[in-house]
Amino acid sequence: MIRVELAKLVRRPRSWVIIALLCLLPIVVAVFVAVTHVAPPPGQGPALLSAVLSNGSLFPAAALAVVLPIFLPVAVAVVAGDAVAGEASSGMLRYLLARPVGRTRLLVAKLITLVTFVLIAVLAVAGTSYITGRLLFGDKPVAVGTTGISTNVIATSLSGTSLTPADVLVRTAGAVTFIAVSMLGVGAIALFLSTLTSSSLAAALGALAALITSGVLVALNSAAAVSPYLPTRYWLAWVDFFRQPILWRQLDQGYAIQGVYVLVFLGAAWANFATKDITS
Amino acid sequence: MIVTSGLTKRYGTLLVVDDVNLDVREGDRYGFLGPNGSGKTTLVRMLLGLVYATSGTIEVLGRPVPRQISAVLPQIGALVEAPAAYSHLSARANLAMIDAAGRRPPGRRRDRRRRIGDALDRVGLGGINDRPVRKYSLGMRQRLGLAAALLRSPRLLILDEPTNGLDPRGIHEVRTLLTELNAAGTTVFLSSHQLAEVEQLCTRIGVIDRGRLVLQNDLGALHGQTGRVVVRSADADQAAAVLGRRVAEREGNRLVVTDADPAEVNAQLTAAGLRVTEIWPERRSLEELVLSVTTGSSDRFDGADRAARRPAAAQTAASTAGEPAGTGSDAGSSGDVTADSGESAAGR
Amino acid sequence: MRVVSRQARRRWVSVAAGTALLCGLPALVGAWPVPVAAVSVAQLRARILSSAGVPYQGYVESTVDLGLPSLPDVGDVTSLLDGTTDQYAWYLSAADWRADVLTTAGETDTYQSAAYGTYEWNYGSNLLTQIVGSEPVRLPRAADLLPPALAQRLLSYAGTATRVSPLPAERVGGVDAAGLRLTPAESTSTISAVDVWAVPRTGLAVKVEIFGRDSTTPVLVSQFLAVSLTRPSAAILTPELGGGVNFATSTLPEVTRILHGYGPELPSSLGDVARVVGVPGLPDLAAYGSGLARFAVIPLPPSTGQSLIQAATTAGVTVQLGSGTGVIIQTPLVTVLLSQQPTGPIYLLVGTVTATELERAAQWLPEYP
């Protein structure tokens, strides 16, 4: 079943359109920054964007920062919201279940497909933005302190220390993984809603509403008591990969909270879907 | 093959399927008749484990549903309501996708291509090219849906309105196909609101009305002769005189004769030198029968209170539907048939 | 009711139970009884006071809610005293530590290194600054809010006269900590209580809460969210000039330059309030008071003073001070008085004493000779 779901994902033109759009936005940002040579000051705007003017190798991380707040979650919500509701509204759900495909198996296959989609999307963004960064901003080594140019230093961490290409690669890989995992919570919510309704749109919008609520509460001081439990609370913690040393605390909590959301909402989806009357 | 007992489905306060005792035997071509909204589709969904009953039990292929549904479904080919397909894929890709989905007997992947070809051939799509299903006509989609149902050479076919969207030629082809499959040992359960379709294909029928199974019997038994003879004669007046009190009904040059054998009536009339244009034993028409036990379309709302209309409805239907003959007795006899068979839903 | 209702119910119940377990896990861990430390309050106080050499590394969250209006020319102090500051600190000794103030897309780091000196890194300006020379006076900085430093400072201010009582033990940042409460004896203090929790064995303070006179919830909470009682590696504590980073040296601390030399020498007492801290070489700066009721007196340069008074007037209360005027800003913890005399400098009085006390003390401020 997993193989079938993956084939469906890959053969569906929509998946690739979404990924292409995701890749396009950072390229647009890169072009503007490269042409005007005006980047937001460090610490403001999308993280790390200020650093790319001197060397493009941090641009994959900056590109992820650009798509992370809105575009990526919207894409994930759309794909996850469509997972079951889309099958229901096209009528394929009843034929799949009569095949038979176990309902729990179907859900798990959908989740795995979703994870694959997120990974492909994030890697595609990272890959295209790496090329964009190299082409538009170059990859010349940056000057190091008083000792002059060291060929081995291509970027600076948030803590002001030098990063070698290997450092940048490892940290970017860490950030990509963390961002992909960060999307799982919203994916699980959308998947659950997708089993409630046969409208993909309603499921996707429901998940986005949950995200926006979470975002508002995270920013609200008086909601500080609940903020550690909100799905978007640790989204921006991927920046911690670019500190020296890497601060794992928020990253670990981000992983944990996404795990909890996946467990809870996948469980709810399972409880609802496994005994649901399929009338579509 | 399919046995349900006391099967009931309630959505909130709405009773959709009410105490249905279905009995489909191996080798049957079972026609499940009912007007729109009578609960046909809900019942079919319950058989496939898509919808769960409020109460009652289902046994399909000898196994309880939904408990052992995963053992049952691989032997069933199903078409539920409209056919569905991934519209951006071709017919072959769709069938491959469907075939790969779910649990399957081992070793079936190797012959997938052949089985897909076979299934497409059977439904008359053998020469289909790779254009996406999006561009198919309704009839082609219907055929594709049938092909998906046939993909695994099922023991039981459950088809909900399989001839929807097909032209007369297509309908004929499907009928031939289903008869062939049935002859080869496949039990066919076909739900439809089209009397003619069921009458031409099926060996056994069940009629559902407002969620209740009001009739279930072999078509042969239902289709029996009424014991009356219909005569059409150019000399109708004289013929009526010759036959005397045995003429139950007369309409122009058409006479209905009770307690008679066509040969004997014919001999009597020709002996009297009268011209007989047509003569045949009167048969109960399925349409009459169905109309007599059902209460009208649920998609019709006439303003009369449904509950109040219900007891009288059978009679009303009977008296207006009987085309030529004394339909009062027909209604009675259909009631008898139901009672005799002992299988129809209780609570008439 | 459906034939699968029981199954459905069982599934929902198991999901609900799992969810409750997951959500309740933090509460459950929190409710797990903390073993009572075998340490007396006096011992604990002594250990905290001598904990300056205890190494640690950890994540600190400090929340201060003073409601102080934004004042010009005082740097990041107002943001420090209003809102939440997240820091990661690596601490070896008073001479060797590093504290990073973390923001979502940047950081500001302070390095104190015995071998290399004092450095400040600001990601926002991409600038590493070496601070040369000693700093006799400085504005409060984020590292002052780290629980060990804050607890040591408060306990040493409080002295031995302040009443100390035990508090139930708590688990803070993953370690079991014994608690004590300081209740200031001074009626003039705005602080009603200071609660400190510390690791009983080493005296490392892990959580500090300060209560204002009229508040039931703490005005200031600074605690470790995660703490490790291990020595940080030398590499982390060593400032590094990374690629593409600007470098600057600051020889004279800015604050001293701004503040020094605008007022006459301050007396050893203002009325009955004695001077507790004098600044060597800066006779016009001093702190007065006792215990946890103390305040600083700072003569301001005229331009800074005027802009501060303007900013404060909208938020504070204007009072008559002898022949001059004053503006008082009262917060739950800190009271600020800006005093302007016809023949004297503009004085900034700020501390944890009541407004009345500040007004009283302001009468005694020296004027220009």
Q: Which domains does chain C have, with CATH numbers?
A: 6-251 (2.50.20.10), 255-362 (3.40.1000)
Please answer whether residues B25 and B185 qualify as being in contact, where contact means their C-beta atoms are separated by less than 8 angstroms: no
* B318 pLDDT higher than 70: no
Which of B69, B89, B100 is the closest to A3 by Cβ? Answer: B100
CB atoms B48 and A92 under 8 Å: no
Domain of residue A221, residue span: 2-275
Least confident range of A116-125, A142-151, A266-275: A142-151
Least confident range of A83-97, A201-215, B125-139, C269-283: C269-283
Q: What are phi and psi of B93, to 5 degrees?
A: -65, -40
**Nearest-angstrom CA–CA distance, B47 and B3:** 10
**Nearest-angstrom CA–CA distance, C126 and C242:** 10
Q: For residue A173, give every residue at least 6 positions away whose Cβ sits within 8 Å of its Cβ, in sequence order, or none.
A: none
Q: Is A207 a domain residue?
A: yes
Please answer whether residues B172 and B162 qualify as being in contact, where contact means their C-beta atoms are separated by less than 8 angstroms: no
Is some CB atom of chain C closer than 8 A to the CB atom of B66?
A: yes
Among C15, C63, C116, C224, which would you mutate to test the A interface (most chain A Cβ atoms within 10 Å of its Cβ)? Answer: C15
Give B-chain residues touching C9 at CB under 8 angstroms. none
Q: What is the DSSP string of A154-181?
A: -EE-TTS-EE-HHHHHHHHHHHHHHHHH
Q: Is A219 a domain residue?
A: yes
Nearest to C165 by CA among C137, C188, C194: C194
Q: Is A124 a domain residue?
A: yes
Tens of pLDDT, residue by residue over A123-143, are 999 999 999 988 888 877 765
Give A-chain residues touching C242 at CB under 8 angstroms. 144-145, 153, 156-157, 159-163
| Tally of CB atoms within 10 A around C156 | 10
Per DSSP, the three-state class of C84 is: strand
**Nearest-angstrom CA–CA distance, A144 and A139:** 15
Q: Is A280 a domain residue?
A: no
pLDDT in the model for residue B51: 93
Give C-chain residues touching B66 at CB under 8 angstroms. 3-4
Q: Is A129 a domain residue?
A: yes
Number of alpha carbons in the 13 Å side-chain half-sphere of residue B22: 33
pTM: 0.84
Provide the mean pLDDT of chain B: 81
| Tally of CB atoms within 10 A around C306 | 14
Tell me which chains share at least 3 CB pairs under 8 Å with chain C. Answer: A, B
Supply B341's token pair.
């068979």
Alpha helix (H) residue ranges in C41-135: 41-49, 77-80
Number of alpha carbons in the 13 Å side-chain half-sphere of residue B189: 29
Is some CB atom of chain C closer than 8 A to the CB atom of B53?
A: yes
Is some CB atom of chain C closer than 8 A to the CB atom of B281?
A: no
Q: Is A246 a domain residue?
A: yes
CB atoms B52 and C2 under 8 Å: yes
Q: What is the DSSP string of B192-239?
A: ES-HHHHHHH-SEEEEEETTEEEEEEEHHHHT-EEEEEEEEETTHHHH
Is some CB atom of chain C closer than 8 A to the CB atom of A157?
A: yes
CB atoms B54 and C4 under 8 Å: no
Please answer whether residues C333 and C150 qualify as being in contact, where contact means their C-beta atoms are separated by less than 8 angstroms: no
Amino acid at site B172: H
Among C3, C21, C102, C127, which would you mutate to test the A interface (most chain A Cβ atoms within 10 Å of its Cβ)? Answer: C102
Give C-chain residues touching A45 at CB under 8 angstroms. 105
Q: What are phi and psi of B116, to 5 degrees?
A: -65, -45
CB pairs under 8 A between B and C: 13
CB atoms B55 and C3 under 8 Å: yes
b/e burial code for range C211-231 (CB count within 10 A of at least 16 → b): bbbeeeebbbbbbbbbbbbee
Peptide bond before A26: cis, by omega within 30 degrees of 0? no
Is some CB atom of chain A closer than 8 A to the CB atom of B51?
A: yes
Q: How close A153 gets to chain C, by Cα (Å)?
A: 6
Supply C325's token pair.
């005027």
Domain count, chain A: 1
Instruction: Please give the residue of chain A at the shortest CA–CA distance from B66.
Output: A275
pLDDT tens, per residue, chain C with 369 residues: 677 888 899 999 999 999 999 988 888 888 888 887 788 999 999 999 999 999 999 999 999 988 777 776 665 677 777 888 999 999 999 999 999 999 888 899 999 998 888 899 988 888 898 888 776 777 788 999 999 999 999 999 988 778 899 999 999 998 999 999 999 988 899 999 999 999 999 999 999 999 998 778 899 999 999 999 999 998 899 888 877 788 888 775 566 666 667 788 888 888 888 898 887 778 888 899 988 999 999 888 888 888 888 888 888 889 888 888 899 998 888 999 999 888 888 899 999 999 999 999 988 888 877
Partner B, chain A 94-153, Cβ-Cβ below 8 Å: 94-102, 105
Instruction: Please give the residue of chain A at the shortest CA–CA distance from B90.
Output: A11
In chain B, the domains with their CATH numbers are 2-222+290-321 (3.40.50.300), 225-283 (3.30.70)
Which of C59, C107, C125 is the closest to A158 by Cβ? Answer: C107
CB atoms A263 and C22 under 8 Å: yes
Give A-chain residues touching C4 at CB under 8 angstroms. 275
pLDDT in the model for residue B8: 93
Q: Is A97 a domain residue?
A: yes
Among C1, C3, C6, which would you mutate to test the B interface (most chain B Cβ atoms within 10 Å of its Cβ)? Answer: C3
- Categorize the per-residue pLDDT at B186 as very low, low, confident or very high, splitting at 50, 70 and 90: very high
Supply B40's token pair.
């046909």
Amino acid at site B173: E
β-pair type (C220-228, C205-212): antiparallel
Which of C11, C22, C226 is the closest to A249 by Cβ? Answer: C226
Reduced to 3 DSSP states, what percent helix, strand and coil does chain C have, rounded to the nearest 5?
25, 40, 35
Q: Distance from first CA to last CA of chain B, Å, rounded? A: 26
